Structure 1
Amino acid sequence: MPEPSPTLKRRGRLFRAGAAFFVLLALAGYLVVQYVTGGTGKPGCKVVSGKADQEAYEFTPEQAVNAATIAAVGTGRGMPERAVAIALATSIQESGLRNIRHGDRDSLGLFQQRPSQGWGTKKQILDPTYAAGIFYEHLTKVKGYTKLPLTVAAQRVQRSGFPEAYAKHEPDAVLLAAALTGNSPATLTCQGRVDATTTQAAGPDAVRAALVRDFGRDALQPAGAEVSAGSKPTPSPTVSTQAGSRTVTLPVPVGKGVAKGRSVRQRGWQLAHWAVANSSALHIERVSYGGREWTAGNTDSQWRTTGAQGTSGAEKDADAVRIVTGQ
């Protein structure tokens, strides 16, 4: 067999070099898109255990937003942390914490609820706040649900064809519930890179609207707060311009202003974690509370102590969650 000519060899090398160049170019473009969008298909958020067991769960910014909504709706209804864990495990199993528009037969949304089975209209079910609310409404009818195995409680609401499927998601749901109800401080972080694919509005007004959507108007206008003779009234939420950024100062209510017996600390950390979970969608750059601060774009995205930590200023820092947006 005749040996290829030098010209053909050169062409072959040039072809392989060109192909390799285009592969590298495509890879670089993919990485740039992932960086700019926050890697919407990849884990960009993480929750860790507040205990010494070092358990952790990684999830996407989209999942973080939906999980935060589920937790906010639950605590707003006075549901315990266990109820929130049941709801989160159910949604992880049914939709992967995504608000999907399809499913088995006419199943839709975070919990794959069916309009034909009386769960609501298609529009209602595709509203995460409504979907979470109707799930909790059915859960409260399950007698002794807090003492039942998670998969049993979830199945009595869902009537799934796979009744044991929820159990495998319990460890992740428990971690999420502890953070998103505020019971496990400084345990939820996100990369916080802006999601360029979202059509959701950003900036302080968008933060306010999202808070009302998930928590109700009390999140912005704490009602019934107790004011003793020597205390100052709880301030109203404000928006101020600082160094080109926009800051939403969100007072944490005290006394009767704390929702259904929850502590100030729990409420504050729930709001702080909620803001981090929504950071990609709402272009949130920084969140601070209780002497800790989270900043978008950090390589490790950790909550770091501030100057207020361990000082008298820490008490002042506990009266409000401060959310800095990029718009």
Structure 2
Amino acid sequence: MTRTGGGALTLSEDDRGPGARRIGRLVALLLVVALGVGGWVGVRRAIDSFTPAQCEVRASGQSFTWAPDQASNTAVITAIAIRRGLPPRAATIAIATAIQESKVRNITYGDRDSVGLFQQRPSQGWGTVEQIMNPEYSSNAFYDALIKVPDWQNADIAHAAQEVQRSADGTAYAQHEGKARVTASVLAGYSPAGIGCRLEAPTTAGSASAVADLISQDHGLTARVEGDTVVLDAQTSEQAWAVGAWGVARAIDTGVVRVSVGDQQWSRSRSSSALTWHSADSTGLSTRVVIALR
């Protein structure tokens, strides 16, 4: 053994046996790994903090992103189609139209007196400005016109949209078909667990009764309020996933923090983990939807 200048005992390399040297190397390796993992966690947290809030829809091997307010508006558009008994194609046409007209944002301006998601004009009989600025009203107005288009179910999306909108360039709607189709499939419940949203925590607590009222308004379904949760026992798997996807898409407006459909759960977070659903304790019913506000 040798001593330091201060008199403390130290082990020289020659004093340590093979076992001690192996342990030392292992400790060093573990420290490097720990620092690497910690560094990666830090990097991921930094990425999450700088990545804007967003939603993602996925179906048939395709994925598309939406800003949270856009996702919420597509949820309303799709829910109204479902409530009216229209097929997902109707929602696809409506979403493609809204992308072209307003980027699916409920704007208060446009060409001449056009306003809202579909840029409907009060002077052309679409309703008052106040009515058109209500997404449920404007969606219903769009579908009222769409179902009057001959053979709209089989027509090209651009043709069907143009027959409703009568815009300057009716071919422009076609470019949005892919994104609209995937979004409608997810929000209509045909692509389970196909939507996630990375969001900040709510600044104020949401209201379970307000969410139940919105489900009634958009989907025409009656959900029950149990404390800070809203529970809906759907009639079909598609209906359950439609309401579950709606709950995620509208979380930016409602303050929803968790949505469960059967044994799958989405949890609100700024992390990229909030873009997907995860296994959760099963309710025992694959068609039960539980939307939590706390």
- Over 3 Å counting, the alpha-carbon distance change for 1:165 and 1:181 in structure 2 is same
Output the TM-score relative to the length of structure 2.
0.79
Work out which of the residue numbers 134, 153, 163 in structure 2 matches 1:127. Answer: 134
C-alpha change, 1:201 and 1:102, in structure 2 (3 Å) is farther
Per the alignment, residue 63 of structure 2 pairs with 56
Pick aligned residue for 1:300 from 261, 273, 276: 273
**3-state SS of the aligned residue for 1:145?**
coil
1:92 aligns with 2:99: yes
> Which of 108, 116, 140 is residue 147 of structure 2 equivalent to?
140
DSSP 3-state at the match of 2:172: coil
Q: Name the CA distance, whole Å, in 2 between partners of 1:250 and 1:206.
A: 14
Q: 2:54 pairs with 44, 51, 74, which one? A: 44
Cα 1:195–1:101, aligned 2, differ >3 Å: closer, same or farther?
farther
Task: Give distance in 2, aligned partners of 1:85 and 1:96.
Answer: 14
Identity of aligned residues (%): 37
User: Match of 1:250?
Assistant: 232
C-alpha contact (below 8 Å) 1:247/1:324 kept by paired residues: yes
Alignment of 1:146-225 (within 5 A): 146-194=153-201, 196=203, 202-216=206-220, 219-220=221-222
The one-letter code matched in structure 2 to 1:149 is D
Structure 1 counterpart SS, 2:226 = strand
Distance 1:195 1:65 in 2: 15
Q: Distance in 2 between matches of 1:286 and 1:100?
A: 29
In structure 2, what is the Cα distance between the partners aligned to 1:101 and 1:160?
18
Aligned residues: 247
- Greater displacement, 266-275 / 206-215: 206-215
Structure 1 partner of 2:226: 239
Runs of 4+ in 1 over 3 A off after TM superposition: none
Give the match's secondary structure for 2:171.
coil
Q: Which amino acid aligns with 1:271?
A: V
Give unmatched runs, 5+ long, in structure 1.
1-30, 222-236, 241-245, 255-263
| Pair 206,194 (structure 1): closer, same or farther in 2 beyond 3 Å | farther
SS in 1 for 2:178: helix
In 2, distance between residues paired with 1:172 and 1:130? 23
Give the drift of 1:195. Answer: 5.9
Distance in 2 (alpha carbons) for counterparts of 1:165 and 1:158: 12
Asked which structure has the greater CA Rg, the reply is: 2
Q: Which position in structure 2 is the counterpart of 1:28?
A: none
**What's the secondary structure of 2:126's corresponding residue?**
coil
8 Å Cα contact 2:189/2:241 also seen in 1:
yes
**Letter aligned with residue 213 of structure 1:** Q
CA distance in 2, matches of 1:290, 1:145: 35
CA RMSD of aligned residues (A): 2.2
Residue deviations 1:33-54, cap 9 Å, x none? x96xx98xx45100011x2xx3
For the residue of structure 1 that corresponds to 2:200, the secondary structure is coil
Shift of 1:201: 8.0
Match of 2:292 in 1: 324
Distance 1:201 1:149, change over 3 A: farther
Deviations 1:269-310 (A, max 9, x none): 0000000001122111111113211111143211112343xx
Query: What amino acid does structure 1 have at the position aligned with 2:266?
Result: W
Q: Contact 1:194–1:281 at 8 Å: present in 2 too?
A: no
For the residue of structure 2 that corresponds to 1:111, the secondary structure is coil
In the other structure, the counterpart of 2:6 is: none
Q: Give the letter aligned to residue 178 of structure 1.
A: S
Alignment of 1:8-47 (within 5 A): 42=52, 44-47=54-57
Q: Structure 2 CA distance, aligned partners of 1:177 and 1:162? A: 24
Matched residues in 2 for 1:131 and 1:48: separation?
Answer: 26
The residue aligned with 2:16 is none
Question: Is the contact made by 2:205 and 2:293 (CA closer than 8 Å) also made in structure 1?
Answer: no
Letter in 1 for 2:258: R
Per the alignment, residue 13 of structure 1 pairs with: none
Unpaired runs of at least 5, structure 2: 1-44
TM-score of the superposed pair, with normalisation by structure 1? 0.71
Q: Once the 2 structures are TM-superposed, how far is the Cα of residue 59 of structure 1 from its aligned partner?
A: 0.6
